[in-house]
């Protein structure tokens, strides 16, 4: 006779939607979390054509999908989807104006969240053990990656946050939008020649092997450098900053794992341990 309690919870289906997605480490990360937390999941990669995001999401949800991660270039479309009648948007996703985590409910509604910013802050504070409170921050870039980081960074009470961007108006506009949350300014890449404690590259420059173009004076001997991009080799920006005398430079692998952990928490109500997953990805 089979034991009454010998049953398995049904597998929940998750996926990452974006374009491209084939390079993604998300399936490995989420399957490690699931194993650790004794959850049964599937986690797929779904490459979606431009213009096909809404339809792809509806199809996934209609076939029993429990949740989605969303990546480039669909985070803003996901945010727009969650603003429609009946759907929900977390405060941090509203602030970021982008969504990287969708959850589907039985009544057909969708909740949207953004775990990128908290993932960045947890990596900096918990893994690297750099405390943001009272530190000066230079944030490079004024696109979606930068916007998602601003709210969570300001919540950690830096002494100031200066955003710089190749197109300076975008940085000034972003700074104006977040005025009420803390000491925040914006300008061109060379608009502030002072040295900063924490310098975060949130531009796409590393993708093309370029430097984002900040001043060498922005770096001092205690500066912590964070590049949101990750690769097997240190990025050109990390190498350049270390050559200028920065204390330490790290890539965005920890942020990737931390944002995934927070998405896992949103879906499964349990926050997995990230350190073992980061260590195993580093070995690869
Ligand atoms: P994401 O959502 O990843 O932030 P995005 O919205 O396209 O992508 O923003 C890309 C950011 O990288 C922008 O801040 C962009 O600067 P512009 O606003 O001037 O375009 C910045 N960027 C891209 N390539 C860059 C480079 N080679 N040097 C400096 N900044 C760069």
| 284 is a domain residue | no
Domain with 22, as residue range(s), is 12-114
Domain boundary among 114, 136, 167: 114
Residues 24-52 as b or e (16 or more Cβ within 10 Å = b) = bbbbebbbbbbeebebebebebbebeeee
Task: Kindly tell me the sign of the dihedral angle through the C-alpha atoms of 162, 166, 172, 173.
Answer: negative
| 279 is a domain residue | no
Which tens digits make up the pLDDT trace of 83-102?
Answer: 998 999 999 999 999 999 99
Are β-strands 101-104 and 110-113 bridged in parallel, bridged antiparallel, or unpaired?
Answer: antiparallel
The reply to whether 27 and 122 lie within a common domain is no
The reply to whether 93 and 147 lie within a common domain is no
| 38 is a domain residue | yes
Per-residue confidence (pLDDT) for residue 1, from 0 to 100? 44
Report CA(2)–ligand 1 centroid distance (Å): 59
Catalytic residue status for 75: yes
**pTM score, whole prediction:** 0.95
- For residue 151, with 0-12 CB atoms within 10 Å meaning exposed, 13-18 middle and 19 or more buried, which class applies? buried
Q: Report the atom number in ligand 1 closest to the C-alpha of 140.
A: 14
Number of structural domains in the chain: 2
Per-residue confidence (pLDDT) for residue 92, from 0 to 100? 95
d(CA 191, CA 162): 9
The reply to whether 143 and 234 lie within a common domain is yes
The reply to whether 99 and 65 lie within a common domain is yes
User: What residues in the chain have per-residue pLDDT under 70?
Assistant: 1-8
Tell me the CATH number at 250.
3.40.50.720
The reply to whether 176 and 243 lie within a common domain is yes
The reply to whether 144 and 249 lie within a common domain is yes
**C-beta of 203 in contact with ligand 1 (< 6 A):** yes
| 168 is a domain residue | yes
| 271 is a domain residue | no
- The catalytic position among 11, 25, 75, 88 is 75
Domain boundary among 72, 89, 114: 114
**Nearest by Cα to 167 from 146, 196, 197, 195:** 146
The reply to whether 18 and 99 lie within a common domain is yes
Instruction: Give the Å distances, CA to CA, from 239 to 64, 204, 209, 233, 262.
Output: 46, 16, 11, 10, 30
The reply to whether 144 and 173 lie within a common domain is yes
Per-residue confidence (pLDDT) for residue 201, from 0 to 100? 98
| 281 is a domain residue | no
The reply to whether 128 and 201 lie within a common domain is yes
Which tens digits make up the pLDDT trace of 225-258?
Answer: 999 999 889 999 999 999 999 999 999 999 999 9
- At residue 237, the 3 state secondary structure works out as helix
| 223 is a domain residue | yes
Per-residue confidence (pLDDT) for residue 207, from 0 to 100? 85
| 200 is a domain residue | yes
């Amino acid at each position: 006779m089979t034991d009454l309690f010998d049953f398995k919870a049904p597998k929940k289906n998750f996926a990452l939607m974006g374009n491209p997605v084939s390079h993604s480490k998300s399936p490995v990360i989420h399957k490690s979390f699931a194993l650790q937390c004794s959850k049964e999941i599937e986690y797929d990669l779904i490459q979606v054509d431009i213009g096909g995001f809404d339809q792809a999401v509806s199809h996934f949800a209609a076939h029993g999908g429990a949740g989605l991660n969303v990546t480039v270039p669909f985070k803003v479309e996901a945010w727009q989807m969650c603003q429609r009648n009946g759907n929900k948007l977390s405060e941090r996703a509203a602030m970021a104006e982008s969504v990287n985590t969708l959850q589907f409910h039985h009544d057909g509604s969708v909740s949207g969240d953004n775990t990128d910013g908290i993932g960045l802050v947890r990596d900096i504070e918990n893994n690297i053990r750099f405390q943001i409170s009272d530190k000066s921050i230079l944030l490079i870039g004024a696109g979606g990656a930068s916007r998602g980081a601003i709210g969570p960074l300001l919540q950690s009470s830096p002494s100031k946050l200066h955003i710089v961007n190749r197109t300076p108006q975008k940085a000034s506009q972003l700074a104006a939008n977040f005025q009420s949350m803390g000491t925040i300014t914006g300008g061109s890449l060379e608009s502030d020649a002072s040295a900063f404690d924490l310098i975060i590259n949130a531009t796409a420059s590393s993708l093309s092997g370029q430097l984002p173009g900040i001043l060498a004076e922005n770096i001092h001997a205690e500066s912590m450098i964070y590049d949101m991009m990750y690769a097997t080799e240190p990025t050109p920006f990390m190498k350049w900053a270390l050559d200028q005398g920065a204390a330490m430079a790290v890539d965005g692998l920890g942020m990737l794992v931390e944002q995934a952990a927070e998405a896992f928490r949103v879906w499964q109500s349990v926050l997995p341990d990230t350190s073992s997953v980061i260590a195993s990805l580093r070995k690869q």
